[in-house]
């Protein structure tokens, strides 16, 4: 699949089987993905606090690695609703499109009494998405992944920051050597290719890219066509944010009217 526009650098995600231990190791170096992420923030004039910025980046990383353990056709969205600071951290992606995107919601966020992690996964042949929710205490995306993986897969998964922009996960397979699995530390993981028998099973790739444009934004606003004054007030144009990546689009009353006219013509 060829990339479009300036998003041409993909993160390589390697799935490696650890023989005799029955574990799957997935790793990636996310420098290119982070570069596109920061270009996006710069273009949209978005600034996050260092804490929230790292939280979103690592959620993108964990979802990317998780997707690599799943069937190609699945698309997954994760939303983390934090109580303090009051924020929703969102990421979504899929391996068929080879894309992942995400954003922070910091305004008009409902304050929960606890922190919650929400997952929604869909696939072409499914009648409806699969939903799951869990409560959590941690504020660390790597620990979010570990808790979610254990709940969703009914077997353990571990997440590691390998240094710089490198991350990996280790997930148990049937017949896993659990003493070895739980005893593995970061230094041992870095030496795993020399200390264990490993084989590369698969390579996938992913990039930070949403694909939103006005053609996708306008249908979301078409339901307001009978309440234009409520939407626009006394303005002729308003700014509308993409719900997936927070890109801002300038939308006018005339754009919505023309969109609906073209829809009627097509029908």
Share of the chain above pLDDT 70, in %: 96
CA–CA dist 194, 204 (Å, integer): 23
**Encoded tokens for 12:** 């390589």
Write down the pLDDT at residue 107: 86
Domain spans, the chain: 11-208, 214-266
Write down the pLDDT at residue 64: 98
Which letter does DSSP use for residue 261 in this model?
Answer: H
The tally of CA atoms less than 13 A away on the side-chain side of residue 195 is 9
Confirm if 190 and 37 have CB atoms less than 8 A apart. Answer: no
Confirm if 93 and 76 have CB atoms less than 8 A apart. Answer: yes
Write down the pLDDT at residue 8: 56
Domain 214-266 top-level CATH class: alpha beta
Q: What is the pLDDT of residues 85-143, one digit of tens each?
A: 889 999 999 999 999 999 999 888 887 789 999 999 999 999 999 999 999 989 999 99
Write down the pLDDT at residue 169: 98
**DSSP strands (E only) in 30-187:** 75-82, 87-94, 99-105, 115-122, 130-136, 157-163, 166-172
CA dihedral 192, 70, 67, 125 (to 10 degrees): 170
Burial class (CB in 10 A: 0-12, 13-18, 19+), 150: middle
45 conformational bin, left if phi > 0, alpha if psi -120 to 50, beta if neither: left
Write down the pLDDT at residue 226: 84
Q: What is the pLDDT of residues 182-196, one digit of tens each?
A: 999 999 999 999 999
Backbone angles phi, psi at 52, to 5 degrees: -70, -35
Q: What is the pLDDT of residues 7-65, one digit of tens each?
A: 458 999 999 999 999 999 999 999 999 999 999 999 999 999 999 999 999 999 999 99
pLDDT at 173 over 50: yes
Greater model confidence, 263 or 212: 212
CA–CA dist 153, 57 (Å, integer): 23
Backbone angles phi, psi at 166, to 5 degrees: -100, 130
Domain 11-208 top-level CATH class: alpha beta
pTM: 0.92
* Mean pLDDT for all residues in the chain: 93
């Amino acid at each position: 699949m060829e990339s479009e526009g300036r998003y041409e650098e993909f993160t390589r995600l390697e799935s490696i089987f650890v023989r005799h231990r029955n574990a799957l190791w997935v790793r990636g170096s996310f420098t290119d993905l982070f570069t596109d992420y920061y270009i996006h923030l710069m273009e949209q004039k978005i600034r996050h606090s260092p804490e929230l910025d790292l939280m979103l980046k690592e959620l993108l990383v964990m979802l990317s690695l998780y997707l690599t353990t799943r069937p190609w056709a699945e698309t997954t969205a994760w939303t983390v609703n934090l109580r303090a600071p009051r924020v929703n951290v969102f990421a979504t992606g899929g391996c068929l499109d080879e894309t992942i995107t995400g954003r922070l919601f910091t305004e008009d966020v409902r304050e929960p009494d606890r922190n919650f992690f929400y997952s929604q996964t869909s696939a072409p042949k499914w009648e409806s998405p699969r939903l799951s929710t869990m409560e959590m205490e941690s504020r660390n995306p790597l620990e979010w992944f570990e808790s979610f993986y254990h709940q969703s897969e009914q077997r353990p998964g571990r997440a590691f920051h390998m240094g710089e922009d490198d991350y990996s996960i280790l997930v148990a397979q049937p017949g896993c050597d659990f003493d070895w699995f739980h005893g593995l530390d970061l230094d041992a993981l870095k030496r795993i290719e020399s200390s264990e028998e490993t084989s590369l099973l698969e390579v996938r790739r992913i990039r930070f890219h949403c694909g939103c444009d006005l053609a996708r934004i306008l249908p979301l606003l078409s339901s307001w066509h009978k309440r234009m004054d409520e939407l626009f007030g006394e303005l002729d144009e308003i700014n509308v944010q993409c719900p997936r990546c927070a890109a801002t689009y300038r939308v006018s009353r005339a754009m919505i009217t023309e969109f609906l006219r073209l829809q009627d013509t097509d029908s």
